[in-house]
Amino acid sequence: SQMDAIRLNAAAILALAELPTIAERTALAGSSEFLECLILCPGLHKQQSATNLNKAEFPATAALTTGYVFRVENSATVHYLQRVGRTGHLTKLDVSARGPHPPSVNRRNASQAPDRPLLEPFPFLLHLSALLPTPIAIAILLNLQDWWACAVIAMLVLCRLLNIVVIRRRSSTFWAGASEPGVHGDLLILLSRDRWIRMRGFVDDLKAVTSGEWLRDPTGLESFAVNSATTLVYIAIVVSGNCSSTGSLVIILLLLTSAILLGASNILLTKQTMRDRVICVAGEPVKYQRRLDLAEQLIKETGRKDWAIGLGMI
């Protein structure tokens, strides 16, 4: 009937909408937890696109302490810098190790440990709340004995689980150069649209969030898993045509509620976790009339200008 077609189209549009909510959460958290397979948002089959959130930008960077010029290679970190940077302003960031680990924690061990939740109460509670709609929806559908709708949710959860496994595998490889324990670092990063970032912390921590690659290229098996997960979403859309009116409505509300809760959590996050390090904004951005004014001030502060020459600022 016409109403059945409307229900099917509504579910299809929602499930296939390429919202970046899940991909953005993956970039902000540095990884993905298995329990997050219960968070079913539109665009759930696009989690692997988290590496594209930086829009192919790898900004020029200079170490103010050594004059060495390089680029930030971590796409998730670049995405965070783009979030907090403001045109014509210098934004200061601090990078530190998480938990009881010393600042010079062994990076090899850190790469094997999963990133822990960001310790920001309200965003964390919203993220936790985003886990609840799926169990609630399943309970309602089981009570209604709408097995087709249950099958749809099961396929979406499996899609999320496959993507999470691949994300965790791709993020397990970690390289950040030679360790320099106990050495302090100070970086100036030139983003597009005249956004300037000053990032400070221990050199090992700075390397952990800027060097190497965040997610390596997927293997053949991982690509197969991701493609299978994407196919599951399309199968779920086809199967959803057999759901009852109430079952279809439950699925639609599930997708909408999860997207709202997770999206709100992402918006309210002010920190990023990466390789068991935390990046956070330190103070208010400082406005400059000219980039040259910024360069001259930092040259005076650091007592050297080789980094400014390398960046083309003078």
Token pair belonging to 9? 């189209």
Q: What is the pLDDT of residue 296?
A: 95
The list of the chain residues with pLDDT below 50 reads: 1, 101-118
286 has which bridge partners?
90
| 150 Cβ contact list (under 8 Å, min separation 6) | 138, 141, 142
CB 175 within 8 A of CB 211: yes
In one-letter notation, the amino acid at residue 164 is I
Max distance between CA atoms of the chain, in angstroms, equals 76
Domain boundaries, the chain: 2-311
CB 208 within 8 A of CB 107: yes
Strands of 116-260, DSSP E: 184-191, 195-202
Instruction: Give the CB-side neighbour count of residue 243, counting CA atoms within 13 A.
Output: 31
**Under a CB-based contact definition with an 8 Å cutoff, are residues 291 and 196 in contact?**
yes
Determine what percent of the chain falls in helix, strand and coil, rounding each to the nearest 5. Answer: 55, 15, 30
- The C-alpha angle 101, 82, 114, rounded to 5 degrees, equals 30
Structure tokens, 79? 């995405």
CA-based nearest residue to 163, from 289, 49, 282, 84: 49
**With the CA atoms of 188, 189, 195 and 199 taken in that order, what torsion angle do they form, in degrees rounded to the nearest 10?**
-60
245-267 pLDDT per residue, tens = 898 899 999 999 999 999 999 99
